[in-house]
Amino acid sequence: MNYEALTTVIRRLALEAGDKIMEIYNSDDFAVKTKSDNSPVTEADEAADALISAGLRAAFPDIALVTEEQSDSHDITAKTFLIVDPLDGTKEFVNRRGDFTVNIALVEDGVPTRGVVYAPARERMFFTLADGSTVEEDGPFAKDAPGNLRKISVADSDNGALMVVASKSHRDQATDDYINKYAVKDSKSAGSSLKFCLVATGEADIYPRLGRTMEWDTAAGHAVLAGAGGQVVRFDDHTPLAYGKEGFANPFFIAYAPAVELKRG
């Protein structure tokens, strides 16, 4: 894999998809449909999926591709594949709350190794470089070349005063019960894969997810966090969260800075 080429392509496609998403987001109205699993989908999801899929297939025709909007047709047995959530946080998009992202990642042998997370309404962009380390790019974002890049890394967490980030749309009592096992200084909520990015930058120490997610929801954020020194483990046994699972469904998980002393659920 030419990681330099991959970085260039996925960054550009994320920006192009972000432009299309924001064009629809800022329109007077847009249609919202319901998928078979009762989750919402909009024309922005579909347009971004088509744009990113075409771009990835043109650039990397020999690498398997998984996308949320085409997931019913996927039967991945490849150990290496690209995985895309063209619009993560559709509920945030529909409610015009801004916390939605474009996610593109590369999975190798069950591990997300490279990825980009772009939050167009928040004007925040995070991606891994060719060497696997993670940067945040300062806008404005030119498509032909990155602007100012800042290496990011997880916090050296204080277990007596942790910052927790949790889901904005899916927080429940089980999540609160688990968070209460820690000495928490403060907590914040965020939508979509931005939660991984807040841990990656040190703005939060831990993100527990006790709810349904799919691999395309988490792969890019996982790669960004790993490149900043963070980890993502299963909630039940604290083993690394793996990818390429049948059906692409994730178990509950915890994303965190390694200095955090993890508690059992």
Domains contained in the chain, CATH given: 3-151 (3.30.540.10), 162-256 (3.40.190.80)
Q: What percent of the chain has pLDDT over 70?
A: 94
**Is residue 45 a known part of a binding site?**
no
Q: How is 221-235 classified by DSSP, letter by letter? A: HHHHHHHTT-EEEET
pLDDT tops 60 at residue 73: no
Name the token pair of 238.
């604290």
Q: In terms of C-beta density within 10 A (0-12 exposed, 13-18 middle, 19 or more buried), how is residue 218 classed?
A: buried
- The answer on whether 16 is annotated among ligand-binding residues is no
**Cis ω for the linkage preceding 140 (within 30 of 0):** yes
Q: How far apart are CA 71 and CA 82, in angstroms?
A: 13
> How large is the angle between the packed helices 3-25 and 43-59, nearest 10 degrees?
160
Token pair recorded at residue 168: 């904005």
The larger pLDDT score, comparing residue 159 to residue 92, is at 159
Asked if residue 95 has pLDDT above 90, the reply is no
Residue 115 has pLDDT above 60, yes or no: yes
Contact (CB, 8 A) for 230 and 154: yes
Is 85 annotated as a binding-site member? yes
Q: Cα separation of 142 and 156, whole Å?
A: 33
Q: Is 87 annotated as a binding residue?
A: yes
Q: Binding site annotation covers 172?
A: no
User: What are the DSSP E strand ranges found in the chain?
Assistant: 32-34, 40-42, 64-67, 80-88, 101-108, 111-119, 124-128, 134-137, 149-151, 162-167, 184-190, 206-209, 231-234, 253-256
- pTM for the full model? 0.94
pLDDT for 41 beyond 90: no
> Position of tokens 């820690």?
182
Q: Is the per-residue pLDDT at 70 higher than 80?
A: no
Q: Cβ distance 76 to 59 under 8 Å?
A: no
Across the range 209-220, mean pLDDT stands at 95
Structure tokens at 158: 């204080």
Structure tokens at 151: 């290496």
How many CB atoms within 10 Å of residue 176? 13
Q: Is residue 62 annotated as involved in ligand binding?
A: no
pLDDT of 172 higher than 90: no
Taking residues 6-31, what's their average pLDDT? 93
Q: What is the pLDDT of residue 79?
A: 86
Given the DSSP bridges, would you call strands 101-108 and 111-119 parallel, antiparallel or unpaired?
A: antiparallel
DSSP for 181-249? Answer: TS-EEEEEEE-TTHHHHHHHTTS-SEEEE-S--BHHHHHHHHHHHHHTT-EEEETTT-PBP----GGGB
